Amino acid sequence: MSSPHAVTDDGAIPAPQVPRSRIVIASMVGTSIEFFDFYIYATAAVLVFPRLFFPAGNDTTALLASFATFGLAFVARPIGSILFGHFGDRIGRKATLVGSLLTMGVATFAIGLLPTYAAAGLWAPALLAIMRFTQGVGLGGEWSGAALLATETAKPGKRAWAAMYPQLGAPIGFFFANGIFLLIVIATGYDSANSGTDHAFLTWGWRIPFLLSAIMVIIGLYVRLKLEETPVFKLAVERGQKVKTPLAQVFKTSWRQLIIGTFVMLATYTLFYIMTTWVVSYGTGKVADVNGPKLAIPYTDFLELQLIAVLFFAALIPVAGLLADKYGRRPTLIVITAAIVLFGLSFHWFADPSSASAGKMLVFMCVGLGLMGLTFGPMSAVLPELFPTNVRYTGSGISYNTASILGAAVAPFIATWLVSSYGVGWVGVYLAIAASLTLISLIIMKETRDRSLDSV
């Protein structure tokens, strides 16, 4: 008698019992919440934490210290991918997704309750660092689980399209995170250049987005608890293909894929955190170009520019999914990554302080985040397709999150140092170098579009 989850004659995995709409919502809503939590920290790392959680002194030093704390989450993310990947490959995708969401949500809510440096001294940045680390552990297990939920239930030939839904969580979370911060800044009348630390925004207003995350987590848990396990994982269990130690197995059998997957993601991470975190500090005058005056675009105006630009990010993710299904993952990403190299070499023209303006910065961010949508869209199909079922959660998670250390964790710090030491053009060169490494990895990588996920 055949297994109820057996592969059909055309090589397709049977459709899951849960309605497709519920899978789409669960993968997209969960990652939207996770990225919302992550991005409110990124915004506060520029706007709030340098003033409230670190000793008074040089503004650039405080900003760099805040970015260093911001980077802690990226160090934690591979740990989260190993921890949650172990359970995701051992006990299943559903339970692990619930655990990662709770981990992220509790840490984010706790940040909204932390005392500042004025109230608790060095305990304030220490507790902030611990909560940031915990956020990273949660997000380290979130993305790969959501990607597997989408890809392991997708129709044949439509995996990149199905996998783009969890990717949409990034711009959605970013839009709501910055949108809520913008509303609070406007409502409290906060001016980052002239307002003191006793201002309502710095006293209690910045805490609101962190505390609101609790409501979103409850909604996300409700949706995810109604899921079933993916048919691909069920089939692997029935065949007795689970391994006791997924981490050891993935390094033994798939170490090449780990390296390739990590560097395939490098340009994506570097581009995104330059265009969302570093650019805020540069555009609002938190850090000046060594070759010219500060841009000093008012913070509320700059947030409005970012919210417009992130729409290009969201709009081009589905386009990338369609292109990756039609032409293949490898050729699609090679063309997009080459465009990122050229974009990096254009930084001096776009963002030079002697000629930059709000309008020019808007075009700059729209191009950058548009390219981000194109490179990010296929990733939740590409990375899972590199690995066999019994180590897919662990392998895709380690690649994705190790790239976050090499690309995202250090990007705002390096970019801040480069612009204050050599000029904004060198920030673009840094991006172009990262993208060139991704190009090499894509040339080495084999096409994965037609690879069956029912494999070990």
Q: How confident is the model at residue 285 (pLDDT cuts 50, 70, 90)?
A: confident
Residue 197 has pLDDT above 80, yes or no: no
pLDDT of residue 16: 54
343 CB-near residues (< 8 Å, 6+ apart): 271, 367, 368, 371, 428, 431
- CA 127, 130, 132, 134 torsion-angle sign: negative
Pick the closest to residue 95 from 395, 393, 380, 385 (CA basis): 393
Residue 330 burial (C-beta neighbours within 10 Å; 0-12, 13-18, 19+): buried
pLDDT of residue 7: 45
* DSSP state, residue 201: I
332 CB-near residues (< 8 Å, 6+ apart): 320, 323, 324, 378
265 CB-near residues (< 8 Å, 6+ apart): 379, 383, 399, 400, 403, 404, 407, 438
Q: φ, ψ for residue 429 (rounded to 5)?
A: -60, -40
Mean pLDDT of 276-305: 82
Pick the closest to residue 284 from 6, 11, 50, 110 (CA basis): 50
The per-residue pLDDT of the chain, averaged, comes to 86
| C-alpha span between 92 and 233 (Å, rounded) | 7
Pick the closest to residue 156 from 392, 450, 381, 379 (CA basis): 450
pLDDT of residue 1: 36
Which is more confident, 215 or 264?
264
Distances from the Cα of 393 to the Cα of 212, 361, 396, 401, angstroms: 30, 38, 6, 12
Top-confidence range, 197-201, 282-286, 382-386: 382-386
Residue 88 has pLDDT above 50, yes or no: yes
pLDDT of residue 330: 97
pLDDT, tens digit, for every residue of 7-42? 443 444 555 566 777 788 888 877 888 778 778 887
Residue 6 has pLDDT above 60, yes or no: no
Residue 5 has pLDDT above 50, yes or no: no
